[in-house]
Amino acid sequence: MLLVSRAFQGFAAALATPAALALLSATFTEEKERSRAIAMYSAVAGAGGGVGLLLGGFFTDFISWRVGMFINVPIGIVLMYLVWRYVSESETRTGRFDLWGALTSVVGMTGLVYGFVQAAGQGWGSAETWIWLGIGIVSLTVFVLVEKRAVEPIVPLRLFASRQRSGAYLGRFLLVGGNFSLFFFIPQYLQNVLGFGSLEAGLAFLPFTAAQFGMMFVMQSLVLRYGNRKLLIAGLLLAVIGTLWMSRTIAAQTAYFPQMFFLMVIMGIGSGLMFQPLTALGLSNVDARDSGAASGLINVAHQSGASLGLAILVTVFNASIQAGQISGQPFAHAVSHSLLGSVVFQASALVTSILLLIPLRASARRAGRLAARRR
């Protein structure tokens, strides 16, 4: 029942999240207003993870963990009223539903994620692991072929014609793949090693959440002054440095304050610098007909990065736990190794972003030379 309910939640979120981002893009057409709206969207979306940990810890310690599941019901009712009351209806048009594209994409991502989950539990020598990974790879290959031929694909491949947008989608996938694990592994360290309760573990992420949310108030001026790409690279550098330092801090079984506290602030600032540029770059120069698909692709990159990244890093965690049982290394080392895996994801996102800049500059120089010759 729990798995079915969570699947239904995911289905509903897959409808609501891209729609919200598409509405922002359609409503705020002026660049300055859109930048402010995307900054608020990114800050609220990012802060939600930290607030969720805090509320979940409170409910678990003082009421019941089940309340953490039920809390979405009253929140959802309030949001439905607010949408009905304040959100204007957008322009609609008739079209076909890309059923085969939807099915092959769902089966593909499920196969990959479950394959890595099986690898964590049964090992890479398990036939079931490779069967599921094979199902995922084949299904995603078929998905691409289906989208090429579909009259109205759920993912128009023309969105990838822009190097900038492709880099934004890939960068988001890699970044979230590394960042999401912070919310999974660090609370385990806080509770299993430092002896924190559920609420205390949630409060420990408050500096991260506050720093990330606080960046919303300065992001618009920073974007106007430095541009999205420079802020993205700066944020990724802070994420890599902060997570690498955090992995070393946890390996030494250091107390939460002061090192972990200040690292939470650093990583929160980095996170606040990254997500607005990634969202803006993913929506840049998108035709009105593709705004919904582009918003959906941003959400797909975010959610699939979180699921697949965590599944991969759980295999690292389990392997480290098994090695620690032999060598006598403590639980903290397994968490530390998992965070090093997060650094690999974040560094890959950084490299992707840097490579995104170089070709664009080269193209701009070539365009300038051609324009000069024509004169």
Tell me, what DSSP letter sits at residue 89? P
Contact indicator for 338, 251 with CB cutoff of 8 Å: no
DSSP 27-68: H--SHHHHHHHHHHHHHHHHHHHHHHHHHHHHHHHHS-HHHH
Asked which of 69-73, 94-98, 101-105 is least confident by mean pLDDT, the reply is: 94-98
Residue 92 CB burial class (10 angstroms; 0-12, 13-18, ≥19):
exposed
Tell me, what DSSP letter sits at residue 162? S
In this model, does residue 366 exceed pLDDT 60? no
In this model, does residue 358 exceed pLDDT 80? no
Q: Report the percent of the chain where pLDDT is more than 90.
A: 28
pLDDT of residue 372: 44
CATH architecture of 12-95+162-374: Up-down Bundle (1.20)
Can you tell me the mean pLDDT for 208-214? 90
Rounded CA separation 344/168 (Å): 18
Can you tell me the mean pLDDT for 255-263? 91
pLDDT of residue 361: 52
3-state SS, one letter per residue, for 240-270: HHHHHHHHHHHHCCCCHHHHHHHHHHHHHHH
Can you tell me the mean pLDDT for 31-49? 75
At 104-124, the pLDDT tens digits run 988 998 899 889 888 877 878
Q: Report the percent of the chain where pLDDT is more than 70.
A: 90
Is residue 269 very low, low, confident or very high in pLDDT (cuts 50, 70, 90)?
A: very high
Rounded CA separation 280/117 (Å): 32
Q: Which residue has the higher pLDDT, 19 or 223?
A: 223
pLDDT of residue 95: 65
In this model, does residue 374 exceed pLDDT 50? no
Q: At what angle do helices 2-27 and 31-62 cross, to 10 degrees?
A: 160
Is residue 94 very low, low, confident or very high in pLDDT (cuts 50, 70, 90)?
A: low
In this model, does residue 363 exceed pLDDT 70? no
In this model, does residue 246 exceed pLDDT 60? yes
Q: Look at the block and give the residue holding tokens 């607005």.
A: 276
Give the CA angle between residues 272, 274, 279 to the nearest 5°: 110
pLDDT of residue 143: 93
Rounded CA separation 275/288 (Å): 22
Can you tell me the mean pLDDT for 175-199? 91
Mean pLDDT, all residues of the chain: 83
In this model, does residue 371 exceed pLDDT 50? no
Contact indicator for 268, 211 with CB cutoff of 8 Å: yes
Q: What's the number of CA atoms in the CB half-sphere (13 Å) around residue 205?
A: 30
Can you tell me the mean pLDDT for 39-47? 76
Is residue 364 very low, low, confident or very high in pLDDT (cuts 50, 70, 90)?
A: very low
Q: Which residue has the higher pLDDT, 294 or 240?
A: 240
pLDDT of residue 90: 66
